[in-house]
Structures are given as C-alpha cells and as structure tokens.
Amino acid sequence: MSDYSKGVAFIDQGIAPISEAKISLLDWGFLHSDATYDVAHVWQGKFFRLDDHIERFYASMKKLHLSIPYQTEEVKTILNDCVKATGLKDAYVEMITTRGMPQAGSRDPRTCTNQFFAFAIPFVSITPSDKGLHLVISDRQRIPAESIDPVIKNYQWLDLVMGQFEAYERGAESVVVVDAQGNITEGPGFNIFCVKDGLITTPINGVLEGITRKTTMALAVESGYEVTQANIHPTYARTADEVFVTSTAGGIMAVTKIDDELIDNGSMGTVTRQLQIAYWEMHNDPDYSIEINYQK
C-alpha cells in the first residue's frame, strides 16, 4: 500500500501505482507536446472547484480537436477513484489528454487515437513555506497568443523553464516572463497579482485563465477591493505595495522580493494574508467543494 500513497494513475483503463504510470515515447503528446491537461486539488478530503477544472479541460480539448470516450461525470469518478486509491487527504490531481500515435507511416493527427490519463499525487506547493517568494522578471517572452492560445492549458513550458534557470542564476527562486511589449504575464504554473493604493491588478493578456486567479478576483471583490485586469509594467510590480501569485499548486502565495527590490519590506502583506485566509475558508463551501468518497 505504501506504493499507492506516493501516487496513483489511471492508465490503460485501470488504476496503477504512479511508478508504473507511463506513456509511449511515440505518443505525440510527448513527441509534439500535442496534449492538454488540467490540475485540480484535494484539500482535507474535498475536491476544490472540480467542475471548473473539468469544464476548462473539455474546452481545451475541443480547441485542440481532441476527444475522449468519457463524459464529465465519468472523469469525476475516475479522479475520485485515483484519490481514493492513494488515501490522501491533500492531493494534486491531474487529468491529461494526448493526441496518441498515428497509424504506421502516417503523419496525420486525424489517424491518432487520443489517450486519456489521470493521476493523483501528494499535494505540492510552489512555495514550501510562508516566507514569500523571491521572483525575477525575465526579458524572455511568454509564447504569444498568435502562436498558441494561452487559454488552452498546455505543456509548452520551455520559455518558463529557461526563465526558471535565469532566476537561479540571479539568486531568485522563480520567474515571471513578459509579452512582446514588455508587460509581465505569468510564471511557471502561476498567475501574478499586484496590490497598489488599494487597487488589485492582474495581467490581462497572454496568460492562462487560472481557476485560482478567477477565485482570487472574486474573493477580492467580495472583500471590497477594486480589482482590474490590465497591462502591468515591471516597474509597477517592483513598486507595488504587495505582490502575490496564485496557483492550484499552493493557492495564494506572497512575493516578498522582485529582482533586487523588497516588496512590503520583505514580509507578507495584509491584503495577501486576508485573501489567503478567505481562499482556504472557501474550501469548506459546499458550492465549491466535492467530498471524496474514500469508501465505495
């Protein structure tokens, strides 16, 4: 059973330990990064906003001409079964559709049988502690919407990976990359927000429409803040009162340093803290959570 507690995958129509979760080298999901995915999380035994993740997953598949033989309710059952098999109360749950393999000798994606995978592993966070992230703003450009629609959640991260290495070279922990006009976009697996003079701003273009981003905007409005999506110049971010990032992998996480500038004297700000508390409280709201059935 200890093998299962490290993670479980749904593969070849069945449940397997994560160590056995493999994909063919010839699947175009690997060879062409021709795939889409989504990640939901389980917190204290409940899925959070699972319906939103599944809705986005199906929308991404449709845009990429991918399809699977499962309806949304069947996918929910598969994901529940993965989590149940691990026994984990806090988990990171990924669903994936790949193009699959073309017929022998063909290079026509329409001849491929699309493949569905899912896995549940222990919950992971972008920030392992509350001390706050040190980010750099890279000159590297996020892949533009004219190349790939950023709303399609995709694995094409080499720009972010190279940005991550730049962060290490510059003594930081992570990175945000920019658009062609030099405005900040997003980082590896997260959206970014700035708080300045009571206004909360997040980049409007070239970003994944994150579920945690959407949740945060709604919580901020409910808390009485003015929230806007806009172009954000690096200088605006570096001189903000507070900066935080949002991700399914960790929720709302403070940024305490950008490039060489301390944000809010290097500690988590009050708005960030307030939204973080509201975010985790929301996990108890039955409108946004689904109890894992660990029994059946």
The answer to whether residues 16 and 9 touch, using CB atoms and an 8 Å cutoff, is yes
Place of tokens 């691990």: 86
- Helix or strand (DSSP H, E) at 135: strand 133-141
Binding residue (CB under 8 A) for a second copy from 8, 15, 29, 203: 29
The nearer residue to a second copy, 189 or 203, going by C-beta atoms, is 189
Q: Please identify, using beta-carbon distances, which residue of 249 and 282 lies nearer to a second copy.
A: 249
Report the distance separating Cα 164 and Cα 114, nearest Å. 31
Q: What is the DSSP string of 198-261?
A: TEEEEE-SSS---HHHHHHHHHHHHTT-EEEEE---HHHHHT-SEEEEEETTTEEEEEEEETTE
Q: Is 9 in the site for a second copy (CB under 8 A)?
A: yes
Quick one: which segment of 83-91, 119-127, 258-266, 276-284 binds a second copy (CB under 8 A)? 119-127
Residue 278 C-beta: closest distance to a second copy, Å: 25
Q: Which of 52, 59, 89, 141 binds a second copy (CB under 8 A)?
A: 141
Task: Measure the CA–CA gap between 95 and 47, rounded to whole angstroms.
Answer: 14
Which of 113, 144, 209, 261 is in the footprint of a second copy by CB under 8 A? Answer: 144
Q: What does the alpha-carbon distance between residue 52 and residue 64 come to, in Å, rounded to a whole number?
A: 19
Q: Which is nearer to a second copy, 171 or 198 (CB)?
A: 171
Name which position in 188, 203, 251, 269 contacts a second copy (CB under 8 A). 188
Question: Interface with a second copy includes 278 (CB under 8 A)?
Answer: no
CA dist., res. 81 & res. 78, Å (int): 5
CB under 8 A: which stretch of 137-145, 256-264, 268-276, 282-290 binds a second copy?
A: 137-145
**Are 112 and 159 within 8 A, CB to CB?**
no
- Residue numbers of the site for a second copy (CB under 8 A)? 6, 9, 11, 18, 21-26, 28-34, 64-65, 96, 99, 104-105, 107, 109-110, 117, 119, 121-122, 124, 126, 128, 140-144, 146-148, 152, 154-162, 164-165, 168, 180, 188-189, 249
